[in-house]
Amino acid sequence: MDTHELTKMLHTKHDSKIVFLIADGLGGLAKEPGGPTELEAADTPNLDALAKNGCSGSMYPVGRGITPGSGPGHLGVFGYDPLKYMIGRGVLEATGIGFKVGPNDVAIRCNFCTLDADGKITDRRAGRIPTEESAPLAVKLRQVSIPGVEVFVEPVKEHRFVVVFRGKGLGDKVLDTDPQETGVVPLDPVAEDEPSKKTAEIAAKFYTQAIKLLADQPKANGLTMRGFSGLPHIPTYEDVYGLKAAAIASYPMYKGLAQLVGMEIVGDASTLEEEVEVLADVWDKYDFFFVHFKYTDSRGEDGNFEAKVKMIEEFDKIVPDVVKLGPDVLVVTGDHSTPAALASHSWHPVPVLMSAKDCRCDPCEKFSENEALKGGFGHFEAIHLMPMALAHAGRLAKFGA
Amino acid sequence: MDTHELTKMLHTKHDSKIVFLIADGLGGLAKEPGGPTELEAADTPNLDALAKNGCSGSMYPVGRGITPGSGPGHLGVFGYDPLKYMIGRGVLEATGIGFKVGPNDVAIRCNFCTLDADGKITDRRAGRIPTEESAPLAVKLRQVSIPGVEVFVEPVKEHRFVVVFRGKGLGDKVLDTDPQETGVVPLDPVAEDEPSKKTAEIAAKFYTQAIKLLADQPKANGLTMRGFSGLPHIPTYEDVYGLKAAAIASYPMYKGLAQLVGMEIVGDASTLEEEVEVLADVWDKYDFFFVHFKYTDSRGEDGNFEAKVKMIEEFDKIVPDVVKLGPDVLVVTGDHSTPAALASHSWHPVPVLMSAKDCRCDPCEKFSENEALKGGFGHFEAIHLMPMALAHAGRLAKFGA
């Protein structure tokens, strides 16, 4: 029996409220051995108070040694096994720009490229053509028309754009057309199973028409298609936890990921303060709230230790406004680590704290990677976080008599 | 998706170097509650310095409560699930005496025994006949000749010897011929599947000829055959981790185990100092180095606490010479515990330390079983060690976008 079969079997009606405050890329690294991490260097009186009276732990979003992308990182925190529910590149790219991928869609991550007179690729990224030049080209491709299927073309950034085919019975097992080298022509789209043959044919038709539309373009006269993918079959929060869930995020990617597990996107906040205002506004309408804060990750990705420290302090400041709402269970964590020292996502575990009436208070004095090692939750994989939150929220019945 | 599918999917080219220093049977027990273990009693300034600036944890080679043999213990540390990859007794026995089992081999662990006039077993171990008397008998059995198959007979120790059949299409599902009691005749070799019928026939022919050769022997005129086994299908380090791996060990058993996962055996060291010299010599040629130190286990098996302490101190002394080579990731641990108090392998977890540039330094002040409980890696099964080492070596790509 997997975790979701269990939570589904045991879930219980309750009017308790659960809040997940997710600081993206929260976990960090010290500048030198024995020094503080970004979280440890930050002045976080509110988070420390929660940790002191709550329960902490050290969490692996995917698994030990595994550096999670944003997709797997969030799926893990949401309680879904990231190794079971794989989100394709096309779907993730579409999700990242706010395109709502539907059940009959196949999404494709495309690159503009340049082709020579023989149709051979000369630059796989069309010289990283600026977005203001590539976006009109993507829009131009909306002229492609294929009978029996809806076609969406969306600009992304520089040479990247997204194509979505919407139609019944489209498989997504189609190989990339990007040959990963120059001096050769793009590959034909090849289906790997029966239901994907139709998709491959549509992709071939799309390509033929698109190439004609781009023929006279000096900056980008070709394209390649990668990461063909449909919506993964993910059960919803309502299904597996019996929770009506709301997502409050400012970036499309995180809204999209939340939608994949059946959360409703609420509000239109762009700052953390606005996110908390939205939270207060919709408080009565939902059981579960995912509140996403992006900038801890961004400053980590920039490699800027001090700026990440500042973002963590900003994050700490809004905590009292969340606490004031009276959540039965408040969880604070990240979807992965983004140490400024590495300027990228990393495999290091993420500290977690839970504040709830029935927490067994542990010896942690503050919210920190190192304090969390002493935490009552120990070291655990992210998929175990939701059952613990549900339990503390009085939403899981006894298992067996 | 299992760990190896994941590491295979994510592995990345890098010129980093990983060293695993394995002190066999490292974990121990205190003489009395509150006292130090062998590792804690030992003066280990070099290991302590690594632990202080690195990351530690408490590792289960197979699983909680499970006492590993040398085979499963090493497989676990090498990152292979010991419950999935079972090494048969015959193969392990052959490996232990330095016999290189090949893909067309079936290895069998045999006992000399004594038979009465009716062919019934009177002593299953031939009175634990001394090796100097049993070895010539094993050599005598090399006269056995079976058409279409190569037969190897190798002495081991006392009543034990190894027989290997080499030929195409030999199955290894043949039941033991040892009836596990006296007063009865040895069982016929019985095949449990189709490909093993040929092996069972060969075993029966071997037995008939062997019994004739032993007929006039006063000390051992019979034999039984156990643990029929072929090479398990284990993917190599190159396959699953993308690593060119070298093994430096003085005992045949550990060389054999390393070979099973595709490591190359390098050098011909017999002391720890010589092992480190070999390590330096081959440093440029490999990505991964398994360095095995036997005597911590041997003194534990002897039940000699003080002698094991001394061996750990010897082990500590060579650490600076390894550090000097500049490994990107240095892991120090054991393949299981061998507490002197038990004079045998045990189920207790083994302390692990990792030293690497991007370690998240934890509060451990020294290398010890009890300090490791505070470690950043927490408590974990050995199969997670390799992914963590690969991550710290920059050899695992991000999972998902």
Which residues does A20 contact at the CB level (< 8 Å), separation at least 6? A77, A288, A289, A290, A291, A331, A333, A389
d(CA B9, CA B396): 9
Last residue of a domain, one of B229, B259, B282: B229
Domain range for residue B316?
Answer: 3-85+234-392
pLDDT at A98: 87
pLDDT at B252: 86
Determine whether the interchain pair A58/B376 forms a contact, defined as Cβ–Cβ distance below 8 Å: yes
**Domain-embedded: residue A399:** no
Binding-site residues on chain A for chain B (CB distance < 8 A) = 29-30, 33-34, 37, 58, 62-73, 82-84, 86-87, 89, 92-93, 339, 341-342, 344-349, 369-370, 373-374, 378-379
- The torsion of the CA quartet A241, A244, A250, A256, rounded to 10 degrees, works out to 60
Determine whether the interchain pair B358/A29 forms a contact, defined as Cβ–Cβ distance below 8 Å: yes
B111: amino acid identity, one letter = N
Binding-site residues on chain B for chain A (CB distance < 8 A) = 1, 3, 6, 10, 52-53, 358-363, 374-380, 384, 386-391, 396-401
Same domain for A35 and A22, yes or no, is yes
User: Angle, nearest 10°, between helix axes A70-78 and A252-260?
Assistant: 50
β-bridge partners, B60: B381
**Domain-embedded: residue A400:** no
Interior/surface letters A99-131, b for 16+ CB within 10 angstroms, e for the rest: bebeebbbbbbbbbbbbeeeeebebbebeebeb
pLDDT at B62: 97
Residue A318: which CATH number? Answer: 3.40.720.10
Residue in B6, B384, B398 nearest the CB of A69: B398
For the segment A80-133, what is each residue's pLDDT rounded down to a tens digit? 999 999 998 899 889 888 898 999 999 999 999 999 999 999 999 999 999 999
Shortest Cα distance, chain A CAs vs residue B391, angstroms: 5
pLDDT at A253: 87
Contact criterion met (CB below 8 Å) for A314 and A295? yes
Global ipTM: 0.89
pLDDT at A33: 87
Same domain for B220 and B267, yes or no, is no
Q: How far is the CA of A193 from the CAs of A149, A172, A205, in angstroms?
A: 19, 9, 19
pLDDT at A52: 98
pLDDT at A346: 98
Same domain for B238 and B361, yes or no, is yes
**What secondary structure, in 3-state letters, does A69-125 show?**
CHHHHHHHHHCCCCCCCCCCHHHHHHHHCCCCCCCCEEEEEEEEEEECCCCCEEECC
- pLDDT tens string for chain A (401 positions)? 899 999 999 999 999 999 999 999 999 999 998 899 999 999 999 999 999 999 999 999 999 999 999 999 999 999 999 999 999 889 988 988 889 899 999 999 999 999 999 999 999 999 999 999 999 999 999 999 999 999 999 999 899 999 999 999 999 999 999 999 999 999 999 999 999 999 999 999 999 999 999 999 999 999 999 999 999 889 999 999 999 999 999 988 899 899 999 999 999 999 999 999 999 999 999 999 999 999 999 999 999 999 999 999 999 999 999 999 999 999 999 999 999 999 999 999 999 999 999 999 999 999 999 999 999 999 999 999 999 999 999 999 999 98
Q: Indicate whether B401 pLDDT > 80.
A: no
Last residue of a domain, one of A214, A230, A246: A230
Same domain for A246 and A368, yes or no, is yes
**Domain-embedded: residue B260:** yes
**Domain-embedded: residue A329:** yes
Partners of A76 on chain B (C-beta within 8 Å) are none
**Domain-embedded: residue B308:** yes
**Residue B217 is inside which H or E element, if any?**
none
pLDDT at B119: 95
Q: Indicate whether B323 pLDDT > 80.
A: yes
Residue in B377, B389, B399 nearest the CB of A67: B399
**Domain-embedded: residue B398:** no
Same domain for A109 and A218, yes or no, is yes
Determine whether the interchain pair B391/A347 forms a contact, defined as Cβ–Cβ distance below 8 Å: yes
pLDDT at A401: 85
Residue A117: which CATH number? Answer: 3.30.70
- Nearest-CA neighbor of B60 among B42, B72, B44? B72
Contact criterion met (CB below 8 Å) for A89 and A229? yes
Same domain for A294 and A365, yes or no, is yes
pLDDT at B98: 87
B202: amino acid identity, one letter = I
pTM: 0.91
Same domain for A68 and A96, yes or no, is no
Last residue of a domain, one of A209, A230, A251: A230
d(CA B306, CA A232): 59
For the segment A302-357, what is each residue's pLDDT rounded down to a tens digit? 999 999 999 999 999 999 999 999 999 999 999 999 999 999 999 999 999 999 99
For the segment B37-85, what is each residue's pLDDT rounded down to a tens digit? 999 999 999 999 999 999 999 999 999 999 999 999 999 999 999 999 9
Same domain for B283 and B354, yes or no, is yes
**Domain-embedded: residue A322:** yes
Same domain for B43 and B73, yes or no, is yes
Same domain for A252 and A139, yes or no, is no
d(CA A199, CA A168): 10
pLDDT at A182: 95
Give me the number of domains chain A comprises.
2
Same domain for B121 and B243, yes or no, is no
Partners of A73 on chain B (C-beta within 8 Å) are 400
**Domain-embedded: residue A401:** no
Residue pairs between chains A and B whose CB atoms are closer than 8 Å: 96
Hey, is B300 helix, strand or coil?
helix
Same domain for B284 and B242, yes or no, is yes
Q: What chain A residue is nearest to B393 in terms of C-alpha separation?
A: A65
- Nearest-CA neighbor of B255 among B233, B287, B273, B278? B278
Determine whether the interchain pair B388/A33 forms a contact, defined as Cβ–Cβ distance below 8 Å: no
The string of DSSP codes covering A28-43 is ---SSTTS--HHHHS-
